[in-house]
Structure 1
């Protein structure tokens, strides 16, 4: 995933309702993804959302945990 994909994921995590998927195609790489976030929740004094990210090319799915910083930027937890 590059900057375009990260921006799409940011938008999805910030605006989508729980279970509402967003799909996009990267204009530079041609790769397509779908991201489906869960309901936000609090942990460690931060807002978190779990998100399923699916690569449309091979169908590979990854379950990730994202947290929102004080500036409203979402980060995938490593």
Structure 2
């Protein structure tokens, strides 16, 4: 998932050099571009980062065992 506003979407797609996969070549890969739903106070480097709680929720929501350890470490470091 990429949390990105409408203004930066075309820049991101151009510079990330992403291409649409053909249906037979997708192999379960997926990239979601999601408009940020939180308010950003100022335009700083920090304001461009997603809150750790959202990252934690995204990692856990995948259900993939490989994501559970980073989610646990993130929770211990930022969400206690």
TM-score by length of 1: 0.23
Of Structure 1 and Structure 2, the greater helix share is in 2
Of Structure 1 and Structure 2, the greater strand share is in 1
Larger Rg: 2
TM-score by length of 2: 0.22
